[in-house]
Amino acid sequence: MSTSPYHLEQLLEFLREAPVAGVLNPAVAKSRGHALEQVQGELSPDERADIRRIDVDEVCRRLHKIEDSSVRPEVIDLYNKRLKSALTDYIAWVRDSTSFRSVGGDRVKPGKRNGYSSVEQAEEVRALEETSLTTSEWASGLLSIPIREDLSVFVHNLPLDLNAEEASRIARVIEALARDRVRGT
């Protein structure tokens, strides 16, 4: 690993360690790290050696121009925004870690007893779900249904012309699952 603070490996390490240190919200760091992992194959050796040389718009154009690319334009736009934020935050942190503030205001709040509050945990879960859905190939066909403060379920392949009888049939299957669980089967 390079000792230069501007090497790609150092940025990746920052994104892994920042949530532990309370510098970034874990969901934010994870989503930025995922975006970086997706585009790093398009980085030149010079860009890897010095991340200050990265032109995010150009890297995303390179990613989009790959023939038969399955990466949707809206996902590339998401990677673009997250990578710009990651670079901006990391460079600011390298320059002065003592007065660092994330560009998105995504710093973890210090002094929480027992970690995050339930509201913050629910927000983090929603952010992680959105990240994984946005980057998946079939996210547009998913319906997210929050069933508890900390849990959502996903339904896939519902027809656009779903009628009341079909919806009732689906609901009965789910209710039967809950009844079987109560009976212990």
The pLDDT tens digits for 47-105 are: 999 999 999 999 988 887 664 556 778 888 889 999 999 999 999 999 998 888 887 75
Query: How many C-beta atoms lie closer than 10 Å to residue 20's C-beta?
Result: 11
Domain boundaries, the chain: 8-136, 138-185
Write the pLDDT tens digit of every residue in 16-56. 998 888 888 888 899 899 999 988 988 999 999 999 999 99
| Cut 0.95: pTM above it | no
12 vs 27: CA distance, rounded Å = 15
**pLDDT confidence of residue 108:** 54
105 vs 84: CA distance, rounded Å = 15
Question: 126 vs 33, which has greater pLDDT?
Answer: 33
Is residue 147 a contact partner of residue 153, using CB atoms and an 8 Å limit? yes
Give the 3-state secondary structure of residue 156: strand
Is residue 39 a contact partner of residue 75, using CB atoms and an 8 Å limit? no
